[in-house]
Structure 1
């Protein structure tokens, strides 16, 4: 039975569009941050792990989106860059002063909303 699940996962990966993959990664990052928020207070290492994953993801998005060869219109590239800068700054500020778990909600909401947009919802 395990072979069937593995085959399904591999097939899913091959038919998944780049937009669907990006949406899935955003949802994964949001879920990690949400788990940290729900389990507050958490071990600082858990917070660092969740925020580092999200930061790396957004760094890749920003790098990819701002390339002119990517085919995105300039306003879309700029919006992604602006969101990414906000995410990176907010992440830094949360890590410097991790007393307010409510600040994590903004990061979760941005990821979920962008994922929904990528999925056309």
Structure 2
């Protein structure tokens, strides 16, 4: 069920949506859906690990692109998004370290809100 890598998902999403911002939004929604599924009673630790890893890979790609000084996005916005990326990395590590006391809710909300913003700016 969770066998695709983030890069493969990006390629598959690219076939479905031509606009780069729409592809990014679709990936964030997909990651949010994986994270949401980990909240089900039937979810396993492997499901959580996959969802967190998938989300981290997506954010790693985003942050890498945003750190490029030639990126078309205004620098203050890029910096805010990089900070969100750093938060997701840190929160992911906290969840992996102690999954009983941390939730994926903030990661889900971040992904959904950023996706909504990407789609609104199309």
Q: When the two structures are superposed, what TM-score results if normalisation uses the length of structure 2?
A: 0.82
**Gap regions ≥5 residues in structure 2:** 1-11
Any conservation in 1 of the 2:17–2:23 contact (CA below 8 Å)?
Answer: no
Provide runs of 4+ in structure 1 moved above 3 Å.
none
Residue number in structure 2 paired with 1:104: 104
Q: Distance in 1 between matches of 2:115 and 2:17?
A: 18
- Residue by residue over 1:52-80, the C-alpha shift from the partner in whole angstroms, topping out at 9 and shown as x without a partner, is 00000000000001101111111011011
Note the residue ranges of structure 1 that are not aligned, 5 or more in a row: 1-9
The 5 A counterparts of 1:24-103 are: 24-37=26-39, 39-40=40-41, 42-100=43-101, 103=103
CA deviation after TM superposition for structure 1 residue 40, in Å: 3.8
Deviation at 1:43, TM superposition (A): 1.9
For 2:49 and 2:33, the matched residues in 1 are separated by: 14
Q: Distance between the aligned counterparts of 2:41 and 2:101, measured in 1? A: 10
